[in-house]
A and B are shown apart, each in its own frame.
Chain A
Amino acid sequence: MRFIQWATSPWGQSVPTHIAWGLIWVAVIAGLFFMIVHSLYLIVVKPPKRFAERAAETNAAGIPERVPRHTLAARLFHWIMAATMFTLLFTAFLPRVGIQFNWVLYHWIAGCVLTISILYHVVHASFFLDFWSIWPDKTDLRDAMNRVWRFFGKPAPPPRKFAKYPLENKLYHGAIMVTGLAVIVTGLFMMKRVQTGIFTRNPYLFSDMTWGLMYVLHGLAGVGLIALVMVHVYMGIRPEKLPITKSMIFGWMSRDFYLEEHDTGRWAVNAPDAKTKEGYAASDGD
């Protein structure tokens, strides 16, 4: 199977034009494969939760019943991004599987909304939230190694509980960031090739080769997002993850779930406000 479609430019140069659209199905199959393997792993292996106990967590009197996790602004960003992402994926790939509609218009409009929301998120997360809470730290990596050793039956200390975000969340965020930035940057340039009313159309901004590579990168990131979004939705609806999903809707998670999954030292939650009975997180971000 060829992963890239090539064409001969008017100047006789062989240039890439698109990804091979069969990669859509490769991404779908990869997403389904992950879901099946992960489900089977949880059903067959039934891995126990083995976190290291910390003395501090036994003294949790100051933890509120509802532990605030996401601000309203962060939640709004998340769901706007989700809506635009689904719009982008459906408008990009449904026409490729035979469902015809005026997709370009909706696609670039959704792309603009996503771009604006991402810009907002970058500023919001950089200056108003705990920027580093979503990036893997040394503890995450050490615990990940320990988990791997223990999976293979090797002696290793039990991992610590998570900070605000489990390592998987952080890695997923990194993957989404890379693919998202790839589609956004290439997509913004590609808007110079269609009539949008925003940019003056200039299809000769780059050489045919550069344009071709840009279309290929846009396509590869796009099909990558199919698999990533499938995995994200799957994780979001898994029973053991529902408290996290609910926190993205309501903004908080229960005290029990917080104490069970999260390290109060790595993600500190202060005592509840006397009036609202709600505490606040030391960090908040997405």
Chain B
Amino acid sequence: MAVIRDVMPAFDLLQPESAAEAQKLLEQNGEDAWVMAGGLDSFDWLKDRIKKPKVLVDLSGVEELKGIHATSDGLEIGAMTTLTEIANHPAIQKDYGVLSQAVELVASPQIRNQGTVGGNVSQDARCWYYRGGWPCYRAGGNICYADTPVGRNREHAIFGADRCVAVHPSDSAPALIALDAKFVIRTPKGERVVDAEDYFVGPELDITRLNILRPGDLLTAIRIPATWAGAKFYFEKVRDRNVWDFPLMNVASAMRLSGGTISDIRIAVNAAAPKPMRLKAVEDLVRGKPANAETGKMAGELAVKGAVPLQFNAYKIPLMRNLVKRAIGGVEAGPSGQPPQQAKGGLAPPLRDPGSQEAA
């Protein structure tokens, strides 16, 4: 059981000043190195004395990893750019609003001031058994404490569980998938660019990691192509309290409409599975159909096909169904006639659907 002692285990602190230097240090130290961006995930692990790296590579001094730059095909966001900067950036607000909405709903203002987009997409699972230092599968053991008849798994996965049932906790990840973002990784073999959805891995492939970064790899930037600039976006996050909380589930979509018909769409949800899920089947289903409640309902039904609830998280099935439904069909007006304030951090009221009594 983890005990917070406020004294981190000793490690060598390395503070590179360039991405090349940082990657070299990571490569040299391999499995012994811990890469730290904003420190919000790292300090939990270190102060709980659960992770005890020999070397900590602090990226805070690497200026080239910070900032948002226009490119010939959209934007490039440095991995060390803070979530606040992304949320407030005019170009992102104007053309890629789904991302600014998503990062604005991360945790609290203080955390967004310190937290980075690279850290947000690369953070570790929040399962308390795992974070508590118990020897679960993800920690290298041979059991999932959450996936037991009495395990507390209300926040855990309904899709993609493979021994481990923890979910990916990022809010920015589904927005980046909806925007068809590319992740730029500096590896010992050179630069590698991967699609956003390919950055994440499930436990069936690697139960000890949530992303494809290997020892020696460094996420340097996230590129957002102009493809979806100015599209119709939707982001909604459902959580237990309105600030400083991880998602019970979130959904992000980018949609192109042609006369009320969906000509193209990308949609992703997170906190439903051990990695963010791009809903390709839903995209294929709704393409060419009108963006209305009926299409949304169909999409929602399809989205939850194959879901396997655990003991305490069956509510996530109607939750996901309704989030997808709202992302595509739009949010019905609340009792006051006003749409919900999901983009401001509040929880959207449940869709008034007689068949969805379990909805969030």
Q: Which positions in A face B, CB cutoff 8 Å?
A: 5, 7-10, 12, 15, 17-18, 95, 100-105, 193-195, 201-204, 208, 211-212, 215
Tell whether, in the assembled complex, residue A193 and residue B143 are in contact, meaning their CB atoms are under 8 Å apart: yes
Alpha-carbon distance A186/B313, docked complex (angstroms): 31
Tell whether, in the assembled complex, residue A7 and residue B135 are in contact, meaning their CB atoms are under 8 Å apart: yes
Chain B residue with the shortest CB-CB distance to A11: B1
Alpha-carbon distance A195/B204, docked complex (angstroms): 12
Tell whether, in the assembled complex, residue B142 and residue A104 are in contact, meaning their CB atoms are under 8 Å apart: no
Q: Assuming A5-B140, A7-B140, A10-B1, is B147 touching A201 (CB within 8 A)?
A: yes
A100 / chain B contacts, CB cutoff of 8 Å: 201, 205-206
B144 / chain A contacts, CB cutoff of 8 Å: 203
With A104-B204, A195-B163 known, 8 other A-B pairs at CB within 8 A are: A7-B140, A15-B135, A18-B142, A104-B162, A201-B147, A203-B144, A203-B147, A203-B148
The residue that A8 contacts in the complex, of B135, B162, B163, B205, with Cβ under 8 A, is: B135
The residue that A104 contacts in the complex, of B139, B143, B163, with Cβ under 8 A, is: B163
Tell whether, in the assembled complex, residue B204 and residue A215 are in contact, meaning their CB atoms are under 8 Å apart: no
Q: Is B145 positioned at the interface, with any CB of A under 8 Å from its CB?
A: yes
Q: Assuming A7-B135, A8-B135, is B162 touching A17 (CB within 8 A)?
A: no
Tell whether, in the assembled complex, residue B147 and residue A17 are in contact, meaning their CB atoms are under 8 Å apart: no
Alpha-carbon distance A12/B140, docked complex (angstroms): 17
Q: Is B141 positioned at the interface, with any CB of A under 8 Å from its CB?
A: yes
8 nearest A-B residue pairs (beta carbon): A7-B135, A102-B204, A100-B205, A17-B141, A215-B142, A17-B142, A203-B143, A10-B134
A15 / chain B contacts, CB cutoff of 8 Å: 135
A contacts with B: majority SS:
mixed
The residue that A102 contacts in the complex, of B1, B140, B161, B162, with Cβ under 8 A, is: B162
Categorize the interface residue count of chain B. 20 to 34
A5 / chain B contacts, CB cutoff of 8 Å: 140
The residue that A9 contacts in the complex, of B135, B140, B147, with Cβ under 8 A, is: B135
Chain A residue with the shortest CB-CB distance to B134: A10
Interface CB pairs A-B, < 8 A, 18: A5-B140, A9-B134, A9-B135, A10-B1, A10-B134, A10-B145, A100-B201, A100-B206, A101-B205, A102-B204, A103-B204, A193-B142, A193-B163, A195-B308, A202-B149, A203-B143, A208-B143, A211-B142
Q: Tell me how many residue pairs across A and B have CB atoms closer than 8 Å.
A: 54
A12 to chain B, nearest CB (A): 8
Alpha-carbon distance A195/B148, docked complex (angstroms): 11
Tell whether, in the assembled complex, residue B147 and residue A7 are in contact, meaning their CB atoms are under 8 Å apart: no
B205 / chain A contacts, CB cutoff of 8 Å: 100-102
A8 / chain B contacts, CB cutoff of 8 Å: 135
Interface string of B138-175 (1 = CB under 8 A from A): 01111111011100000000000111000000000000
Alpha-carbon distance A194/B162, docked complex (angstroms): 7
Chain B residue with the shortest CB-CB distance to A18: B142
A130 to chain B, nearest CB (A): 41
Alpha-carbon distance A104/B162, docked complex (angstroms): 8
A263 to chain B, nearest CB (A): 49
Alpha-carbon distance A15/B142, docked complex (angstroms): 11
B135 / chain A contacts, CB cutoff of 8 Å: 7-9, 15, 17
The residue that B163 contacts in the complex, of A17, A194, A202, A212, with Cβ under 8 A, is: A194
Chain B residue with the shortest CB-CB distance to A15: B135
Alpha-carbon distance A95/B139, docked complex (angstroms): 16
Chain A residue with the shortest CB-CB distance to B201: A100
B217 to chain A, nearest CB (A): 13
Tell whether, in the assembled complex, residue B142 and residue A195 are in contact, meaning their CB atoms are under 8 Å apart: no
Tell whether, in the assembled complex, residue A195 and residue B141 are in contact, meaning their CB atoms are under 8 Å apart: no
A9 / chain B contacts, CB cutoff of 8 Å: 134-135
B140 / chain A contacts, CB cutoff of 8 Å: 5, 7, 17-18
Alpha-carbon distance A43/B308, docked complex (angstroms): 60
Alpha-carbon distance A195/B203, docked complex (angstroms): 13
B145 to chain A, nearest CB (A): 7
B148 / chain A contacts, CB cutoff of 8 Å: 203-204
B163 / chain A contacts, CB cutoff of 8 Å: 104, 193-195
Alpha-carbon distance A10/B148, docked complex (angstroms): 14
B149 / chain A contacts, CB cutoff of 8 Å: 202, 204
B204 / chain A contacts, CB cutoff of 8 Å: 102-105
Alpha-carbon distance A195/B162, docked complex (angstroms): 7
Q: Assuming A9-B135, A102-B204, A104-B204, is B142 touching A212 (CB within 8 A)?
A: yes
Alpha-carbon distance A5/B76, docked complex (angstroms): 43
Alpha-carbon distance A9/B206, docked complex (angstroms): 23
Tell whether, in the assembled complex, residue B161 and residue A195 are in contact, meaning their CB atoms are under 8 Å apart: yes
Alpha-carbon distance A172/B149, docked complex (angstroms): 43
Alpha-carbon distance A89/B170, docked complex (angstroms): 36
B55 to chain A, nearest CB (A): 21
Tell whether, in the assembled complex, residue A7 and residue B162 are in contact, meaning their CB atoms are under 8 Å apart: no
Docked complex: B318-347 residues within 8 A CB-CB of A: none
